[in-house]
Structure 1
Amino acid sequence: MPRSVLRTALAAAAAAALLVLAGCSGASDPASSSGAPADSAADYITPGKLTFATGQTAYEPYVYDDDPTTGKGFEAAVAYAVAEQLGFAPEDVVWVRTSFEAAIAPGPKNFDINIQQYTITDERKQAVDFSTPYFEASQTIVAIAGGKADGVKDLAGAKSLLLGAMAGSTSATTIDEAIAPTTPAALFSSNEDARAALEAGQIDAMVLDTPTAYLAANFYITGGFMVGELPAAGVPDQWGLLLQKDSPLTSRVSHAVDTLREDGTLADLEKQWLSVLTEGVPTLK
């Protein structure tokens, strides 16, 4: 999911307990009992430490209070869960900041793993590595109260809307395949351009991945609201942990993510931190 100024802080922090993680120190070769290929201290930016990166400003519900070291927030908690799988204790996890664009550019990195809601795409894979997905985002229609989309309750009602989305995005694909509107979707070079068109009345509504839709509707677009969540269509919007191209850690990080998915940890963290995103929002059928 392309990240943009649509991301903004939520109004209040949810009260949730910090995920307590235990693990052996990464000062030597991290534990390999999981069956994943062992890696060496030389594989890490700093031997004995696991360096995670997040955004220059990290927003809720992914990171609370812009402080990933607390483990509070979906992505902060995922990071520490992955670290545990790799054999690192919480105190051996180091955090750095990067812009979204810099991290996906080719070249050396100042981190071992970056977690910033990166959608896995073939184009990005030319420059960086991704783990297997740790989250799959649905798509949601966002509109402004009082407009044509106000009162839409199902997919049949959405068909008559002039919808906007970023060109080449999962959102654009979902409009075509899940809604099949009577008027072709208006496509824009960025989510910001689509948002501007919505606010100017040039489109009736726009489609965004659900986490971004929640933030946009509740805290960025004046009078914005979430019309409804759309059924899955086309290629899912899957988020992966980002690593330097051909990183020796990629297979091991993917194994860690797969383990967390299979044992239910990712589902538990999603329920704990992301359930707020769709509370009261209908699924359009």
Structure 2
Amino acid sequence: MKNNITLSHWLAIPALALSLGASSLAFAQDTTLKAVTDPSFVPFEMMDQDSGEMVGFDMDILHEIADRAGFKVDLNTMDFNGIIPAVQTGNVDLAIAGITITDERQEIVDFSDPYYDSGLRILVSDGSDVASLDDLEGKRIATKIGSTSYDYLQEKLGDDAEITPYPGSSDMYMALMGGSADAVFYDAPNVGYFAQTKGQGKVKTVGPLYEGQQYGIAFAKGSEWVEPANKALEAMHEDGTYDEIHEKWFGAAPDAE
């Protein structure tokens, strides 16, 4: 039996494919992903008191990636120690909160390519003689619950120091400013930002950058959005958008200096 396909049928096929492609794109752009962040990790994410919206370096990165990858964001907040479990259990699709990429975390969530190079730093009162991690032996150290800084302190100092994990960044800094802690040990950009703003003239960062780290966006295991996010991030580096966002919050990016 002959295949009775006319010229008009053949012409209709690419038109149909184009229509389906456009429909697929429209569907992708209509996709909304549930996202979560920790509102206390300044200046990566924080609440704008005037607008009531979350702002910060991470927020600018997330929204730019979402625009380029073709999804919308339904953003909520929670304490940092609940973020990875929320992604792992599928309660949210992704999380961005200065999350350090670790082997342990990679076993339960998928990460985007690294989008920020960081490390850990010591913050002390302006008159303190602490100069390095070794000087923290026997001291009262404030850090954050569920953070890699807490794990690092436990590994390096253990029982040789009084290590207190706090639920939020502001709690750590209040402990230092109020005299109930001798030092804060936490992510370098957050510590540095506090020293230059609310803590200016009262606290200082000391010592080297400990345990080089990289931040990534956490996705649920097997998420189809990891690759689009990585492509968007790569394009942001290539066209200078990433450098613009970095300069807005931290000054010139290291590779631009």
Do the aligned partners of residues 147 and 130 (structure 1) sit closer, same or farther apart at CA in structure 2, a change above 3 Å counting?
same
Return the offset for 1:255: 2.6
> CA separation in 2, counterparts of 1:202 and 1:62?
26
The equivalent position to 2:109 in structure 1, one of 113, 121, 128, is 128
**1:142, 1:205 within 8 Å by CA — same for their partners in 2?**
yes
SS in 1 for 2:249: helix
Whether 1:254 aligns to 2:230 is yes
Return the offset for 1:210: 1.9
> CA separation in 2, counterparts of 1:267 and 1:229?
27
Q: Which one-letter code corresponds to 2:65 in the other structure? A: V
> CA separation in 1, counterparts of 2:66 and 2:122?
35
* Map of 1:238 onto structure 2: 214
**1:218, 1:224 within 8 Å by CA — same for their partners in 2?**
no
* TM-score (normalised: structure 1): 0.57
> CA separation in 2, counterparts of 1:170 and 1:51?
29
**1:45-124 mapped onto 2 (5 Å cutoff):** 48-51=30-33, 53-55=35-37, 57=39, 60-63=42-45, 65=48, 66-68=52-54, 73-87=56-70, 93-99=72-78, 100-105=80-85, 106-110=88-92, 112-124=93-105
SS in 2 for 1:133: coil
**2:116, 2:216 within 8 Å by CA — same for their partners in 1?**
yes
**2:38, 2:97 within 8 Å by CA — same for their partners in 1?**
no
Alignment size in residue pairs: 218
SS in 2 for 1:188: strand
> CA separation in 2, counterparts of 1:75 and 1:195?
21
**1:120-159 mapped onto 2 (5 Å cutoff):** 120-149=101-130
Whether 1:227 aligns to 2:202 is no
> CA separation in 2, counterparts of 1:29 and 1:101?
37
Q: Which has the higher helix share?
A: 2
> CA separation in 2, counterparts of 1:102 and 1:94?
19
Do the aligned partners of residues 271 and 228 (structure 1) sit closer, same or farther apart at CA in structure 2, a change above 3 Å counting?
farther
> CA separation in 1, counterparts of 2:115 and 2:150?
19
SS in 1 for 2:64: helix
Return the offset for 1:120: 1.4
SS in 1 for 2:97: coil
**1:261-276 mapped onto 2 (5 Å cutoff):** 261-275=237-251
SS in 1 for 2:121: strand
Q: What are the ranges of 5 or more consecutive residues in structure 1 without an aligned counterpart?
A: 1-26, 31-39, 277-285
> CA separation in 2, counterparts of 1:224 and 1:123?
37
SS in 1 for 2:205: strand
* Map of 1:280 onto structure 2: none
**1:50, 1:83 within 8 Å by CA — same for their partners in 2?**
no
**2:42, 2:190 within 8 Å by CA — same for their partners in 1?**
no
Whether 1:211 aligns to 2:189 is yes
Return the offset for 1:189: 6.0
Structure whose CA Rg is larger: 2
**2:126, 2:204 within 8 Å by CA — same for their partners in 1?**
no
* Map of 1:3 onto structure 2: none
% identical equivalent positions: 25
CA RMSD after TM alignment: 4.3
SS in 1 for 2:115: strand
Return the offset for 1:74: 1.2
Do the aligned partners of residues 52 and 211 (structure 1) sit closer, same or farther apart at CA in structure 2, a change above 3 Å counting?
farther
